[in-house]
A and B are shown apart, each in its own frame.
Chain A
Amino acid sequence: GAVVSQHPSRVICKSGTSVKIECRSLDFQATTMFWYRQFPKQSLMLMATSNEGSKATYEQGVEKDKFLINHASLTLSTLTVTSAHPEDSSFYICSAQETRAFFGQGTRLTVV
């Protein structure tokens, strides 16, 4: 299947700092990518839909000023967690779809 690469896989940051997570589709172009958040032992919760060349669409309850999404090319979307706090600690996963959805390996964010 298609390959989606996400980096970093793990990151620890201090409260108040910002963290950028990259999601790349390696062998296909993705006009749309999706960002999910997953809490321990829970399902994937859609945060936002990233659209190449336009603004992202955020799900209800997700702060767009806190979770900045940029989809500048057909193979790269980035999620920046701004002014991170401990409650932002979670597993973030992106996906890109080419007839089927393929997921990045996820990023474990720990805010201390």
Chain B
Amino acid sequence: GENVEQHPSTLSVQEGDSAVIKCTYSDSASNYFPWYKQELGKRPQLIIDIRSNVGEKKDQRIAVTLNKTAKHFSLHITETQPEDSAVYFCAASENSGYSTLTFGKGTMLLVSP
């Protein structure tokens, strides 16, 4: 089955800095890679996703890059703000519609004012 590794497990940055979280996956059949943000005690919220036919996607301060050859994808957050502080999860699946998502272990991001 799929295995998703996520690094780092914790990340502390100063407000305004950039943050990068990296994930690798093992199953070459995976073609959908979402990123979720989870605040304490709340549900994971989809913040951005990318499919295998695209190498990069950007939405305001958030971007995701995908390297299918190397089987890794990354989340980039620019101009971080304290409200970006949360746990971020990457995931992978074969089909965004109905396939099981395999999650990374999460990265706790702390943005200090």
> Residues of A at under 8 Å CB distance from B?
1, 6, 31-32, 34, 41-44, 46, 49, 91, 93, 95, 97-106, 108
Contacts and interface: CB of A to CB of B under 8 A. Distances in A.
Interface string B95-113: 0111011111110100000
B61 to A, nearest CB: 19
Which of B43, B46, B91, B101 counts the most A-chain CB atoms under 10 A from its CB?
Answer: B43
Contact of A43 (B45, B96, B103): B103
Nearest to B99: A97
A101 B105 contact: no
Contacts of B91: 101
B44 interface: yes
Interface in B38-52: 41-46, 49
Contacts of A31: 98
* Interface SS majority for chain A: strand
Interface of B: 34, 36, 41-46, 49, 89, 91, 96-98, 100-106, 108
* Interface SS majority for chain B: loop
Contacts of A43: 89, 103-106
B80 to A, nearest CB: 21
Contacts of A93: 43-44
A53 to B, nearest CB: 14
B43 A105 contact: yes
A101 B103 CA distance: 12
Contacts of A104: 43
25 contacts: A1-B46, A6-B43, A31-B98, A32-B98, A41-B108, A43-B106, A46-B101, A93-B43, A93-B44, A97-B96, A97-B97, A97-B98, A98-B97, A99-B96, A100-B49, A100-B96, A101-B46, A101-B91, A101-B101, A103-B44, A104-B43, A105-B43, A106-B41, A106-B43, A108-B41
